[in-house]
Chains A and B, each alone.
Chain A
Amino acid sequence: MGNLRYLLQETLAGLCRAKVSFFLSVLTVGFLLILMGLLFLFSQNADRILASMNAEFEMQVFISPVSNDAEISALGRRLQNIPGIEAVMFYSKDAAAEEFKREFGDEIFQALEENPLPSSFNVRCDARHSDAEQVKVLVTQIESYPGVDEVIYQNEMVSTLSRYSRVVQTANWVLLLFVVLGSLLVISNTVRLVILGRQQIIETMRLVGATSWLIRLPYLLQGLLQGALGGGAAFLLLALVVRFVQAQAPGVLITSKNTLLLAVLVGAGLGVFASVLSVRRFLKT
């Protein structure tokens, strides 16, 4: 009981003594975690959107007008045998004309003597084979088949989003390094300052028989508190951002409270680790 009381008193007294440094640590850790959290949210949601787009990924394989029926059905079989292709559906010239008429009217067919639209295969890829790079390879492969005139797919958005997602993921790793190093630096420095300012009390504790753990624990708790408070601040701000985006654009940003709570855990973990570094270096028991 006496120990617990002492621990709490000493933890708070140490932080009060270095309050400016403590405040700056919390602020820095919070800021870094917010930045990382935002990038993480972007990356997580970009991946989700990409996955859903990829899951529905389709391409249109237009057939050369000189191909006969036998060649067309051979092409259809060949497409079906490509690994990663989930479904192949044939659209005849007439079906294409019907759809065109539904969308644009039949004026053009009245002006022309024959149906100018080519027959085509609608090809759907499965999710595992539909990232931008694999799709590109697939398109080149299909374009080389005899009887294929042109392959059309909506690649712009997929590849842009995929590119951004990769950039953000890389940025996130780099930022993680900054978060770790930055947090360790500011928290361990604050704990160092507190330890240096408490030399007399530490020495007295040693002499009256306090255990190493009791001497060290307040400083470890101080690190934990700094990291967790920084993480807590990041959690609150990120939760606000998520709520705002969800209200403005429903369905774009999806995440869970548990994911956001990670910020507090990461902050607390970094705080303890930073304290351990300082305690090992500056506190001799």
Chain B
Amino acid sequence: MIELQNVRIVYPTGEGIEHISFRVAPGEFLTIVGPSGAGKTTVLRAIYLDLWPQEGSVQVAEYNSLFMKKREIPFVRRKLGIVFQDFRLLPDRDVFENVAFACQVTGRRQKEIKKRVLRALADVGLSHKARKMPNELSGGEQQRVSIARAIANEPYVLLADEPTGNLDPQTALEIMNVLHRIHIRGTAVIMATHNYEMVKNFAERVIHMKNGRMI
């Protein structure tokens, strides 16, 4: 379960988010929609505690920002999988290594890592490209690798920040189908996007944002 209660985060420029409250149950698919600068990314960053709420609280599973210590942040993030618009793959590692990296740094055994990586790559339909380097892949494929990396640790919730933002409509649809399949299997998904038209067929629950507030 994820719950934000009256969260406020204001940047030194004066922009930010205020009065953000919502709850995401296990297995839910939540879409946060709003124009650029509405505060969608800030909400996601608050969930993975890249930004600490100045007011209010963020609860991720058993961790609550009001009561936890900052050194516990890595353990919160292990419950989440994060996907970005710009993929953020490591260019000097192949597809397998990029996905394995997430398991490796969380201390899993080599044998288990291999199993998880192969399953994650199968889930996103990229088993046949495990030894390709990121620069040998199309944008859609790179995003699928990034999704595989996010789900390899079997997260509680998958956070996707404009996952289709850099992709053409056809590829974007493929990515949405991948996210949908992951959701169907029981992982909660929170996706931020400015393109409601593109995602409306998949949206179960939608939060609209504007100028840092929910509307």
Q: Which of B74, B91, B109, B113 contacts A209 (CB 8 A)?
A: B74
* Interfacial chain A residues near B106, Cβ < 8 Å: 2, 208-210
* Interfacial chain B residues near A210, Cβ < 8 Å: 74, 105-106
What residue in chain B is nearest A214 (Cβ atoms)?
B105
The reply to whether A207 and B82 form a contact with Cβ atoms under 8 Å apart is yes
The reply to whether B88 and A2 form a contact with Cβ atoms under 8 Å apart is no
* Interfacial chain A residues near B80, Cβ < 8 Å: 209
What residue in chain A is nearest B77 (Cβ atoms)?
A209
Take A207-B82, A208-B149 as given contacts and tell me if A2 and B104 are in contact as well, using a CB distance cutoff of 8 Å: yes
The reply to whether A3 and B71 form a contact with Cβ atoms under 8 Å apart is no
The reply to whether B102 and A208 form a contact with Cβ atoms under 8 Å apart is yes
**Complex CA–CA separation, A5 to B109 (angstroms):** 10
* Interfacial chain B residues near A201, Cβ < 8 Å: 90
Decide yes or no whether B101 CB sits under 8 A from chain A.
yes
Decide yes or no whether B75 CB sits under 8 A from chain A.
yes
* Interfacial chain A residues near B74, Cβ < 8 Å: 206, 209-212
Interface centre among A2, A5, A200 (most CB of B within 10 A): A2
**Complex CA–CA separation, A256 to B82 (angstroms):** 57
Q: Which residues 166-212 of A have a CB within 8 angstroms of B?
A: 200-201, 203-212
**Interface 1/0 per residue, B81-108 and A, CB below 8 Å:** 0100000101100000000011111111
Tell me the minimal C-beta distance from B151 to chain A in angstroms.
11
Take A2-B113, A210-B74 as given contacts and tell me if A203 and B105 are in contact as well, using a CB distance cutoff of 8 Å: no
Q: Which of B48, B91, B103 contacts A207 (CB 8 A)?
A: B48
Tell me the minimal C-beta distance from A226 to chain B in angstroms.
22
Tell me the minimal C-beta distance from B161 to chain A in angstroms.
11
Q: Which of A5, A200, A206, A211 contacts B104 (CB 8 A)?
A: A5
Tell me the minimal C-beta distance from B9 to chain A in angstroms.
18
The reply to whether B110 and A2 form a contact with Cβ atoms under 8 Å apart is yes
* Interfacial chain B residues near A209, Cβ < 8 Å: 74-78, 80, 105-106, 153
Tell me the minimal C-beta distance from A265 to chain B in angstroms.
31
The reply to whether B77 and A208 form a contact with Cβ atoms under 8 Å apart is yes
* Interfacial chain A residues near B78, Cβ < 8 Å: 208-209
Decide yes or no whether A244 CB sits under 8 A from chain B.
no
Decide yes or no whether A6 CB sits under 8 A from chain B.
yes
A interface secondary structure, majority: helix
Tell me the minimal C-beta distance from B55 to chain A in angstroms.
24
The reply to whether B88 and A203 form a contact with Cβ atoms under 8 Å apart is yes
Tell me the minimal C-beta distance from A153 to chain B in angstroms.
69
Tell me the minimal C-beta distance from B117 to chain A in angstroms.
12
* Interfacial chain B residues near A204, Cβ < 8 Å: 88, 90, 101
* Interfacial chain B residues near A200, Cβ < 8 Å: 88, 90-91
Tell me the minimal C-beta distance from A216 to chain B in angstroms.
12
**Complex CA–CA separation, A200 to B101 (angstroms):** 13
What residue in chain A is nearest B75 (Cβ atoms)?
A209
What residue in chain B is nearest A201 (Cβ atoms)?
B90
* Interfacial chain B residues near A206, Cβ < 8 Å: 74, 77
**Complex CA–CA separation, A211 to B80 (angstroms):** 15
Decide yes or no whether A66 CB sits under 8 A from chain B.
no
What residue in chain B is nearest A210 (Cβ atoms)?
B105
Q: Which residues 148-196 of B have a CB within 8 angstroms of A?
A: 149, 153
Q: Which of B91, B102, B110, B153 contacts A1 (CB 8 A)?
A: B110
**Complex CA–CA separation, A209 to B156 (angstroms):** 13
* Interfacial chain B residues near A6, Cβ < 8 Å: 104-105
**Complex CA–CA separation, A3 to B74 (angstroms):** 15
**Complex CA–CA separation, A237 to B67 (angstroms):** 56
* Interfacial chain B residues near A207, Cβ < 8 Å: 48, 77, 82, 88
A-side residues, CB < 8 A to B, are: 1-3, 5-6, 200-201, 203-212, 214
- Extra inter-chain contacts (5) besides given A3-B105, A210-B106, CB under 8 Å: A3-B107, A200-B90, A200-B91, A207-B77, A211-B71
The 7 tightest CB contacts between A and B, nearest first, are: A209-B78, A209-B77, A210-B105, A208-B102, A209-B74, A2-B104, A3-B107
> Can you report 8 A-B residue pairs in the complex whose CB atoms are below 8 A from each other?
A204-B90, A209-B74, A209-B78, A210-B74, A210-B105, A211-B74, A212-B71, A214-B107
